[in-house]
Amino acid sequence: MAAIQISNVEKSYKSLRALGGVSLTVEEGEFFGLLGPNGAGKTTLISIIAGLNRADAGTVSIHGHDTVRDYREARRRLGVVPQELVFDPFFTVRESLRMQSGYFGLKKNDAWIDEVMHNLDLTPKADTNMRALSGGMKRRVLVAQALVHKPPVIVLDEPTAGVDVELRQTLWKFIARLNREGHTIVLTTHYLEEAQSLCGRIAMLKAGRVVALDETRNLIRRIAGAQLSVRLSRGELPESLLPLVSHLDGAACRTEFTLRINDYAEVEPILAKLREAGAVIDDMHLQQADLEDVFLQIMEGEK
């Protein structure tokens, strides 16, 4: 059974169409990335999954439980880390976590609360009032609050925005562990290197629609390929290679350029053409594309 099943979800705010028929399936145990520029509809989609927003059309289910009709079962299986840094100023860290645990119907949950706090380095702050915490610490508490009921599906909406390196590492170590233990993780982030290293599969949203959906390595291979950067000490780029150019430095003399290739086998013929044209290579390097290249290509509307 799918961890999250999203079918034809539509949502508009007055004249703004935030989501235009989104369908996605996240399988159990996946580490899934939801990427897109600001305003693409990521947070709206997450809010609908979490029941914080109601879709105009379409359905979402968590482990087969509809988030509207069967909301209690759906919400029990879902932990959400909201993007906004929110907290309740009346309570300490431990009180906040106990309270959140209680809302999910769990009374004697202190052992797990202690473990979550330990894993997020929150233990020294357990009895500190939320108001007195730094932004990074508040973010940790938000993550902890999403985990108090041991949800099988965890959704993190930009959990590392404005967070220092240390917390990012602590957080990803813990989340990766939860994923290994079988939790399904859905993540949105603007740090594409994080998404690339963590997510097995990625969906990209643009203007409320899914514009790409594949395994991370397939996306990178299929869409961006690799790049060959060359600097010539003599001669210039032959006409026959112009269609491959993705980037040209020193346009006038055409002596520094980057070529896009889909396969390493294309390297040899390119070198041969350069040799035939009488060019001599001064420097050259081959670069595997990364998620950022894919992201930019897709968002600029290229294929």
How far lies 231's CA from each of 101, 165, 224, 254, 285, in Å? 61, 36, 22, 9, 9
Which is nearer to other proteins, 153 or 279 (by Cβ)?
A: 153
| Sequence letter at residue 256 | E
Which is nearer to other proteins, 50 or 175 (by Cβ)?
A: 50
**Residue 103 makes contact with other proteins by CB under 8 A:** yes
Distance CA(268)–CA(179), nearest Å, equals: 42
Which is nearer to other proteins, 90 or 264 (by Cβ)?
A: 90
Q: Specify the 3-state DSSP secondary structure of 171.
A: helix
- The token pair at 243 is 């269609």
Give the distance from CA 262 to its chain's centroid.
25
Total of residues contacting other proteins (CB under 8 A):
31
Q: Which of residues 43-72 bind other proteins (CB under 8 A)?
A: 50-54, 71-72
- From candidates 105, 124, 135, 269, binder to other proteins by CB under 8 A: 105
Helices (H), the chain: 42-50, 71-76, 93-103, 110-119, 135-147, 165-180, 192-198, 216-219, 267-276, 291-299
- From candidates 36, 41, 82, 208, binder to other proteins by CB under 8 A: 82
Q: Which of residues 141-180 bind other proteins (CB under 8 A)?
A: 145, 149
**Residue 12 makes contact with other proteins by CB under 8 A:** no
- From candidates 100, 160, 170, 189, binder to other proteins by CB under 8 A: 100
At 208, which helix (H) or strand (E)? none
Which is nearer to other proteins, 102 or 124 (by Cβ)?
A: 102
Reported residue count of the chain is 303
Report the candidate in 50, 46, 41, 49 with the shortest Cα–Cα distance to residue 13. Answer: 41
- From candidates 8, 16, 37, 84, binder to other proteins by CB under 8 A: 84
- Rounded least distance, CB 28 to other proteins, Å: 20
Give the distance from CA 134 to its chain's centroid.
25
- From candidates 28, 29, 99, 273, binder to other proteins by CB under 8 A: 99
**Residue 80 makes contact with other proteins by CB under 8 A:** yes
What mask of x and - would describe binding to other proteins in positions 262 to 291, judged by CB under 8 A? ------------------------------
Distance CA(181)–CA(29), nearest Å, equals: 8
Binding site for other proteins (CB under 8 A): 50-54, 71-73, 75-76, 78, 80, 82, 84, 86-91, 96, 99-100, 102-107, 145, 149
